[in-house]
Every structure is written in C-alpha cells, then in structure tokens.
A = this chain, B = another copy of it.
C-alpha cells in the first residue's frame, strides 16, 4: 500500500472515521445506509412504483446518463431521468444518487443531484475526479473492476486534494477467472479500506453478482464485514428492465432482505 501518497485519504493524519452527510443521511455513522432503485431510470411511473413499495431505503439510486460497453445499448434518459429522480426524491424526502459521465454536466448535477456517482469505468478518469473535487457535493466513488484498492484510495485522493472531503467509496466486484457470477465481490476490500482510510465504504452486491439469487448472502456478508451501506438494484418488473435485465430484486424480495439485514446489523452493534 502506497501509504505515503494517501495524504488526505489515509489514517495517518486523520485517525477518526469520516462521516459524509447527504441531506438527512449520514454515511459512516452507526446506522447503515441502504441505497435502492433501478439500474436505469425508465419512466416516472417506474421510479414512483419502486419508491412507494420499498421499506427502509435511505437513498434512491437510478442511472440516467448510462455509460454502456456497447454504443447500441440503452444509454439512459439523461436530464429527463434526473428530473424524475428529483421529483420523487423531493416527494418522499429521500435523497438520490446518480452517475455523472462528463465534466460539462457538472453544473447541472450540482444544481439537481444529491450525491454524484463516479462509475467503475471512470474511477481513473482523473479529470472528472478533479472536477467533482472542486464541488462540495458528496461523491460516491466506485472501484474499477480491474483496479486495486490502492488505486481506489489514490483516486479518492484526487477528489480530496481539490477540496471536497465528502467521498464515499464503493466495492462492486472485481474481474477474476471465476465466472459463476458476473464479478467476484472482494469482501476483503472492506477491512483493507477501513485499515488504511477514514472514508466510509459501501458495497454493491447487484453489480458484483449480476443475479438476484446471490444478493442476500452477499448483502449480509457485507454488513457483517463492516460496510457502512449497501447499494441494491430494485425493479418493479426485472424481466422487462431496459438495463441489466433480471439482475434486480423485485420490490418484495428487497423488503424481505431488509428484514434479514436488521438483525445482522444489530449483532455487530449497528442499525438500519
């Protein structure tokens, strides 16, 4: 671990855990943060249905500017999708997170979005990191699937160095030879990050596994391992989702999961 360059993200000069505040939500406190919503925002009706149906969600998620491997995939509703998220977020008094993909959208994000997500593919897009570092918005920085934990922390350093201390890290699975799941959740990343950094860290079991069957097991493991939150894809109709089809939990599956998370959180002295 290149501890020397973790000047702001490392423990050396910052022993206490950082708590990042997004409206009424605290990342890194005793209370575990549950982020839920569809992979991609598809319509107001879709987001509203999910928002009404789910219990225990503290932050909504939904992709609207979607970075996609193929240019022929569904690329998101862009600003329209963000307005949908914003409207429902305000109605339910629950903040939301959505991904940014280019610097020129930053002013729009500052004005409209509660938490700005940097996606896995942009973890080393240093110009974008510096740009969000010049705001005070909470930033959810996802680990690249081909990147080490050291690189994740050095990328957070780019944001902190520009003056924005509000960084939340996210483990979402890495690429390995094992192919039973889409990626391999690196559960060890949680305690490694906690050892070297004071920043809060959450886990995204949906992208890690790509299969609803594994979400419960991975979610409980993440909480027990010390994660400060979970980000879970939920869809009102997973089989017809426009993005990451069949990866999301149904609303009912999600609500059952929350009931199982609560006692595990309690067992390690936390709550949901």
Contact = CB atoms under 8 A, between A and B. Distances in A.
Contact of A103 (B103, B187, B189): B103
Interface in A90-118: 101-104
Contacts of A144: 146
A222 B221 CA distance: 6
Contacts of A127: 101-102
A3 to B, nearest CB: 11
Interface residues of A, number: 72
B180 A188 contact: yes
Interface string A173-206: 0111111110011111111101100000000000
B174 A188 contact: no
Nearest to A73: B5
B176 A188 contact: no
Contacts of A179: 148, 179
Given A70-B157, A124-B69, A150-B180, A209 B224 contact: no
Nearest to A194: B217
Interface string A201-217: 00000001100011011
A224 B72 contact: no
Among A144, A148, A151, A224, find the residue whose CB has the most chain B CB atoms closer than 10 A.
A224
18 contacts: A1-B180, A2-B70, A70-B154, A103-B103, A121-B125, A146-B147, A149-B180, A174-B184, A175-B175, A176-B184, A177-B177, A178-B188, A179-B179, A187-B218, A195-B213, A221-B225, A224-B225, A264-B267
